[in-house]
Each structure stands twice: as C-alpha cells, then as structure tokens.
Amino acid sequence: MTIDESALAQELRADGIDVADVRLSPDRVAVAYTTTLPAERPAHGEMGRVCNTVIDLVEAGELDPLRVDATSLRFEDDVQATWHAEAEWLEELTGYRISEEEFSERVLGTVETDPDVPVDADAPHATAAADDEPDPAPGDGGRR
C-alpha cells in the first residue's frame, strides 16, 4: 500500500465524493462522505464512485484490497446509511473471479439505513450520539 489518507481523500474528491473523513488501517479503509442526495437510501452512483476509486487504486497497486466501511451523511452528525465492501470481494473482482454486477449486488446488500453507529475513535463517522434524555413513552405526546 503506497497511498495515505490524504491522497485517498484527494482521489475520492476528484471522483466527485464530498469526503468528510477518511481513515486507513492495516485491515480497512473507512470513509465518511456527505451525500448530494439526502434521501432515505444512499445514492447508488455515489456508492459506485467510492467503490470505483478504491478498485482503481487496488488495480494500480497503490492500495491493498482492504475492507471498505462507508458512512453516507446527509450533513454533519446525520447518518443516512452505512455500507461496506469486503476485501475478499475486491480481490475477486480485480482477479476476474466475480463480475462487476456481482460485486455491486454484494455491496448493495450491505446497506443499512438509519444505522446505530457506534462512537468509535477509529471510525470516521464517530459522532457523539449523546442522548441524555430517554425516549418518550408511546402516546405521552413527548412529555416527560
């Protein structure tokens, strides 16, 4: 792996991704990006551009096939969805053992909308999910 976090973020931005944060570790790439389409589900085109950037870097030998953990943000601290691509899938795709369609289906199958995102210092989507007050009981009109 020859690419660093800054260069990876730059590559993603060059492919039209509004990068909020990128982290590289020996076993994964974690990227958080702000979507241009803040709907209920993440935009497949943005997901594809993130994947294609990583695939291109793997094929160029600048990045080892690593698990990609992605977080799509509507805006800061508002997670739209999370999704991932396994390192094995990247190896299979770049080794021509699976098709681009199969790879895409696998990635799309990992999408979680409205996920419970843990506060993790190693995750680019680490946000303080402080909820000091309990949820209101059903039917109480929000009164506590």
Q: Is 111 left (phi over 0), alpha (psi -120 to 50) or beta?
A: beta
pTM, two decimals, is 0.78
CATH code for the domain defined by 5-113: 3.30.70
Mean pLDDT of successive 10-residue stretches along the chain, which has 144 residues: 92 97 96 92 95 97 97 92 98 97 97 69 38 36 38
The C-alpha atoms of residue 51 and residue 107 are separated, in whole angstroms, by: 9
pLDDT at 135: 36
pLDDT at 38: 83
User: So where are the chain's domains?
Assistant: 5-113
